[in-house]
Structures are given as C-alpha cells and as structure tokens.
Amino acid sequence: MATHADVFFSEVATIAAKLDKAQIEQLAQELVALRERGGRLFLVGVGGSAGNCSHAVNDFRKLCGIEAYAPTDNVSELTARANDEGWETIFTGWMDVSRANAKDALLVFSVGGGDIEKNVSVNIVRAVDDAKQRGMKVFGIVGRATGHTAQQADLALVIPVDEPSRLTPHTEAFHVVVWHCLVSHPILQVKRTKW
C-alpha cells in the first residue's frame, strides 16, 4: 500500500513533468529584458507565498543583478497600510511610493491568484490592476488558471496540480522550484552560487 509520502512525491514528479517549460523560458527572457531596460521587479504574495517572495528577492538581486523588492518584507509599512488604509491596498500604496512605472514588472506568487467575487487575495487583484494601469509587465506563478492573476497577466505559469486537496502545498513548493530554475538560468544568472 502506498504511503502518503509515496503519493505526494509521485504527484511532485507528475507536476514537474507537466510544467510548461516554454513559458518558463519565456519568463526568463522577460526578466533579462527587464534587467536590460533598468526596470525593477516587485514580488507580491500573501501567506506562504509572501515568504517565497522574500527569498526570491534575495536570489534575483544577488544571483541575477535585478533590482527586486517584496513589499511584505517591510512589516511596519505593511501593517500601517493595512491598519490605516485597508488590506486591499497594501501593495498598491507601496508601488505608488516606489513610483512603479512601465520599465518595471510585477511578479505574483499565489495559489489562487486573487478573486474579487470570492473576496480572496483582493490585495493581489488590486496590485495586478494597478501594475497594468502603470504599463508594467505582469507575471505570475499560480495554482489556478481561473484566478485574476492568470486571467490578467502578460505571462502566468499555472502549476498543473491534479489533486485539489494539495493545491496549496504543491503550488507554493513549485514557486520555489520555478524561481530557482530562473535564477540559475544561464541567460539570467550573473553570479554563481557559493555551493
């Protein structure tokens, strides 16, 4: 009888095999273009995805020479904005002060990608819409093709998870896998890792 670990890692192998590699290569090209035009990369996500954003910012900055930021890294500003202006605007307010513009790009890490009707991750919905209004490129690595990010992004990689009960752990795990693929890509990586 298969154990949970057997099933889980079988699903991981299936997801890895089914990932749209052409989209990952296209995202790598987009990030090279971003760096070449001197644009900044803003990464947004909530919950575990916010933690992934923080780690990815380090890698894009250190290994790829891309000026990158995660608004959730500044907990004081994040909570002040949530308290004073509302949870929905935590990212748009941050991008406004940062003078985000058409040279820049937004990268969303999210399971659902935001949904106004379900009132889920509305801050991500607002960030995507704000970025589009600013003329920014919008990219996403998400778990649902039906979410706002997947529907509105210039490029959205949807993690192909077949088991709905494990959508969140697989999607968030593959955020990590995909961004590590990107930061180790020969066209993006400008500095080698220590190990």
Q: Is 192 left (phi over 0), alpha (psi -120 to 50) or beta?
A: beta
103 part of a folded domain: yes
Residue with tokens 């949807």: 158
Answer for the pair 163, 4: CB distance below 8 angstroms, yes or no.
no
Task: For residue 107, give the nearest of 45, 47, 167, 158 by alpha carbon.
Answer: 45
Q: Give the burial string for 67-104 (b: 16+ CB within 10 Å, else e).
A: ebbbbbeeeeebeebeeeeeebbbbbbbbeeeebeeeb
193 part of a folded domain: no
189 part of a folded domain: no
pLDDT of res. 103 = 98
- Residue-range definition of the domain harbouring residue 76: 4-183
Q: Give the burial string for 169-178 (b: 16+ CB within 10 Å, else e).
A: bbbbbbbbbb
Domain of 154: which CATH number?
3.40.50.10490
192 part of a folded domain: no
77 part of a folded domain: yes
**36 — pLDDT class (breaks 50, 70, 90):** very high
pLDDT of res. 14 = 98
Average pLDDT on 34-50 reads 97
pLDDT digit string, tens, across residues 79-88: 999 999 999 9
Question: Residue 67 corresponds to which tokens in the numbers above?
Answer: 């000026």
Task: For residue 50, give the nearest of 163, 183, 172, 193 by alpha carbon.
Answer: 172
121 part of a folded domain: yes
pLDDT of res. 120 = 94
188 part of a folded domain: no
Half-sphere exposure of 140 (CA within 13 A, CB side): 29
- What is the number of domains present in the chain? 1
pLDDT digit string, tens, across residues 162-195: 999 999 999 999 999 999 999 999 999 999 998 9
128 part of a folded domain: yes
Average pLDDT on 109-130 reads 97
